[in-house]
Every structure is written in structure tokens, then in C-alpha cells.
Amino acid sequence: MAEPIRIATGVLVPEAAVEWRAVRSSGPGGQNVNKVATKIDMRVDLGAVTGLSAPARARLRALAAARTDADGKLIVTSQRTRDQLRNLEDARAKVKKLVERALREPRPRRITQPSLGAVQRRLRQKRVRSIVKRIRQASADED
């Protein structure tokens, strides 16, 4: 099942960039968990992903920064199900989702002014808070 992960038109993770192995899953599962290697430990060479622009590649590196090893490979694990093939498909889906997120350019933030109503609400709340504090301070002085 070592086939490339197709992300979008012209963007794919070649099969040579993906290496995976099945290991024993953690957590409950009875006797099955001690015998069967269903957890998938996948490593993906992000430098080998084809069809990415330079900004998209930089976004991918930033998104995957917390999940990369010393060699710069993305580490993805899946132990969601008790079936090795389904966990492999889940891990491949996680890689696909991450690369798809990197393909989308973030919308630039438009600098806006707060509306007149928002400014008035904020100032009114400040006045109310000031009055409350003044009342509390006066009552504390009387004690």
C-alpha cells in the first residue's frame, strides 16, 4: 500500500518520501494489544513533497515544526482503530490534511477602526466600573 498521497492537482507526496512501520498500540485492548501491531508510525520527508510553491512550503514547515524529528521528517502516528490498514489510512489522511492547510494562503488582516457604538459601549463600561470601585472604596473607608 505504498502509493503516493495525492493532495491537489499537481501536489503530491511521493511514495519514496513516506516510510511507515506498525508498532504495538498503547492503552486498553486486552490480550490483543500485546500481540498485534496496529499502531502506525509514519515518517514523511517534507522536502520531497512536489508541486508546492515556496510560501506554501514555508507554511508547511511552520505547521509541522512541532512534529518533526532531527532529520526534518514529519512524524505522524495513528492508533485510532484496532485495524492496521485503517490506521494507515488515518495517518495518510492526517498528512494530506496538513499539506492542504499549508496550501491555503492566510487572509491578510485588514486594519479597521472600532465602530462608534463599540467605543461608546467600552467607555460606558469603564464609567460603570469606576463608579463601582469608588463606592467600594468609600464603604471601605467607613469601616
Domain regions of the chain by residue span:
5-103
| 119-138 pLDDT tens trace | 999 999 999 999 999 999 98
Most confident of 9-18, 34-43, 97-106: 97-106
Instruction: Supply the pLDDT for residue 141.
Output: 79
Of the candidates 7, 1, 3, which has an alpha carbon nearest to the alpha carbon of residue 22?
1
- The class that CATH gives domain 5-103 is alpha beta
Instruction: List, in order, residues 6 or more apart from 99 with CB less than 8 Å away.
Output: 5, 7, 11, 13, 49, 52, 60
**Given this model, what pLDDT does residue 29 score?**
67
Nearest-10 Cα torsion for 13, 18, 23, 28: -10
For residue range 29-75, list pLDDT tens digits in order: 677 777 888 899 999 999 889 999 999 999 999 999 999 999 889 99
pLDDT at 9 over 70: yes
Average pLDDT rounded to a whole number, residues 12-33: 83
Nearest to 5 by CA among 41, 38, 39, 44: 44
